Amino acid sequence: MDGSDVSGSPLPKTFLDFLSQNGLSPSLYAASSQSIPRYVRLKPGFESHIGDIEDEIGCNLVEVPWLPNFYHLPPEIRIASTKAYREGKIYGIDAASGAAVLALNVSHGDHVLDLCAAPGAKLCMVADLLEGSGSLTGVDIARHRLAATRNILNKYALGDRCRLFVADGTKFSLIPLRASSSSNSSRGDASETYKEWEARRRAWKERKLLAKTQNKCTEAEIREDPEVIFYGPRSGMVGRSKASVYRVVDEHQISDMGYDKVLVDAECTHDGSIKHIRKFEQWGWTTLPQRVLEARRSDELSALQLNLLTNGFRLLKAGGSLVYSTCSLSAAQNEDVVERFMSRNPSAGKT
């Protein structure tokens, strides 16, 4: 196979051409999976437990200076079986994901929307930063992944002010439940109100069937109204009528009552993830062009990314902030998407 040797493994010529077209060096992928550190975030309030955590895992937690509460560990360290992980003191999250949340500049009292919320690590970090204030709305089109997000929020006791919706992020239109919001225009039966959330455990066979048949919901499978699969006791849902939650609002109302911050960490080809690219050593390099480089896939993704970005911006309160991020290094999925968006939305400011 044509390629360039990177850490003993050849990158295919098609991928080298892709890197060249995007002004990227193959040396970015020289690191082996065994040399890439593992990142964890320490839940605020547990700083005094660092020594105990280090004793348990048998190595030092090395602080990441530019990411508050982030530490890196040797890649061979497994945290899932540790007491600190089971008790919700630490959770795994990539530094790049942490950087996207940090850029959001979450402030006390913000109402935040994560439009591509699964698998949930960024949502947890946002919840931490809100410090029991404001609200957090997570949306994802993949039901099983959002269910895992719900489990993570509950595990780390971070779901108090959160609500989760299975929905198409390009069409999601529910605004945050601010204390002063009204329901002059609404849908549904106003007599139906939300009570305290109770976990509804499905039979094992049903859950197994869902895992097979609902790996990823298509647009046709998403009901007209977003489906709520979790809400915390202080998310604003309890005691609300379904009509007030699903009320129709116009653009003027969104400008006044929309989200303070929106995160659009969009689906992408993951070519910027060294760990992901190195997996092709096992999967076979011949499969990389179809999974990562195929023009049709790239075009479909860039269209999806633009639609997610556009809808996220539409749901922003006037003066709010949006962060758009991907784990791709291609201009087509980053700069080009942003430029197309800016050309259609001149009122948006870029930083």
DSSP 37: P
Check whether 94 is labelled as a binding-site residue: no
Check whether 140 is labelled as a binding-site residue: yes
Contact between 9 and 16 under an 8 Å Cβ cutoff? The reply is no
Which of 124, 162, 217, 327 is catalytic? The answer is: 327
Q: Which two tokens stand for residue 246?
A: 């699903």
Residue 214 to residue 120: CA distance in whole angstroms: 18
Q: Render 47-95 in DSSP notation, one character per residue.
A: GGGHHHHHHHHTS--EE-TTSTTEEEE-TT---TTSHHHHTTSEEE--H
User: Is residue 124 among the annotated active site residues?
Assistant: no
Nearest one of 219, 90, 229 to 146, comparing CA atoms:
229
Check whether 250 is labelled as a binding-site residue: no
> How many of the other CB atoms lie within 10 Å of CB of 339?
12
Residue 228 to residue 163: CA distance in whole angstroms: 7
Annotated binding site: 140, 168, 265
Residues taking part in catalysis: 327
Annotated binding site for S-adenosyl-L-methionine: 140, 168, 265
